[in-house]
Amino acid sequence: MSSRLKDKVAIITGATSGIGYRTAEIFADEGARLLLAARREDKGKALADKLGGDVHFVKTDVTKEEDIKAMINAAVDRWGRVDCLFNNASSGSPGDPVDQLSFEQFQTAMDLQAGSVFLGIKYAVAVMKQNGGGSIINNASIAGIGVGYGSMLYSAGKAAVIHMTRCLAIELGEFRIRLNCISPGGVMTPIFLGAKQKELSEEETQATVDRLAKVYDEQIPLRRAGKPDDIAWAAVYLAADESQHVSGENMIVDAGTSLGRNKQYQAQWAAWRREAMFG
């Protein structure tokens, strides 16, 4: 324990699985006072009990404004302030052809991917202005900066998060409120399985994620699929005073995936192109 976040009051949404779960563990180790927010009450309370110390759980649906407002108020009632908000909660969105998507599906995706971030910022900022500043971290994705890393709905939502972060970093800078994004690449969590995850047990889910990780190990430049730890430690930096001169950034944590395809893929593509041109 290095106490990089000692006595800071931090809120983490989507805290009961994947990136949120691991970030909660590391933030607690670094000395933060934690408010964990998620829909699954049993898992949230179990995590709070496991972490011990000054950790509290609030059942929260991040697509509901009243839940977000209550989440922020719970932190203020307990500790009197909010120093950091990690807008982490997210999920996959349908990847059907656009002419087969309903407007309801579009609205649902935007509410989760971008609307939840807007609401978190809106209510956290009101508190942070009174406290003299704070750090807001939004979990985006390389799907928000490139094409082919997720469905259209997911990608559009994450692109909105990135641009919202930049716009508000300017608007809120005078209040010493910093806003930054983290854009993961292929981090191996159940989010990759989408709706299929609901059909699997926890053991089957983990086995499927492990198989997927082996595929990513072969395809990305650093030859190692991402882990929740990779994003959690980036969040620690953005929450800590070490990053107090950093705002409006989109920190890409993707092992170089968004830079381009690896040599193996490039060689295969060149072979396909030669065959198409010359037979």
Find the CATH number of the domain harbouring 150: 3.40.50.720
Of 149, 154, 216, 265, which one is the catalytic site residue?
A: 154
CA-wise closest residue to 54 among 75, 84, 23, 83: 75
Residues 164-184: what's their mean pLDDT?
A: 98
Whether 195 shows a pLDDT value over 60: the answer reads: no
Tell me the residue type at 144: G
- Our count of domains for the chain comes to 1
Rounded to an integer, what distance in angstroms lies between the CA atom of residue 141 and that of residue 252?
A: 8
Q: Lowest-confidence range among 4-13, 32-41, 136-145, 206-215?
A: 206-215
The strand pairing partners of 184, in sequence order, are 253
Q: What is the pLDDT at residue 194?
A: 58
Residue 103 placed within a domain: yes
Tell me the residue length of the chain: 279
Cα-flanking dihedrals φ and ψ of residue 96, to 5°?
Answer: -70, 160
At 215, the pLDDT band (50, 70, 90 cuts) reads confident
Q: pLDDT per residue over 245-259, tens digit each?
A: 999 999 999 888 888
Whether 277 shows a pLDDT value over 60: the answer reads: no
Residue 2 placed within a domain: no
Task: Give the range of the structural domain holding residue 54, as residue numbers without chain letter.
Answer: 9-278
Q: What is the pLDDT at residue 270?
A: 62
Residue 1 placed within a domain: no
Residue 108 placed within a domain: yes
Q: What is the pLDDT at residue 19?
A: 94
Contact between residue 261 and residue 227 where contact means Cβ atoms under 8 Å apart: no
Query: What is the separation, in whole angstroms, between the first and last Cα of the chain?
Result: 61
Residue 3 placed within a domain: no
Residue 118 placed within a domain: yes
Query: Is there a catalytic annotation at residue 123?
Result: no
Residue 4 placed within a domain: no
Residue 237 placed within a domain: yes
Whether 115 shows a pLDDT value over 80: the answer reads: yes
Q: What is the pLDDT at residue 256?
A: 85
Reduced to 3 states (helix: H, G, I; strand: E, B; else coil), residue 171 is helix
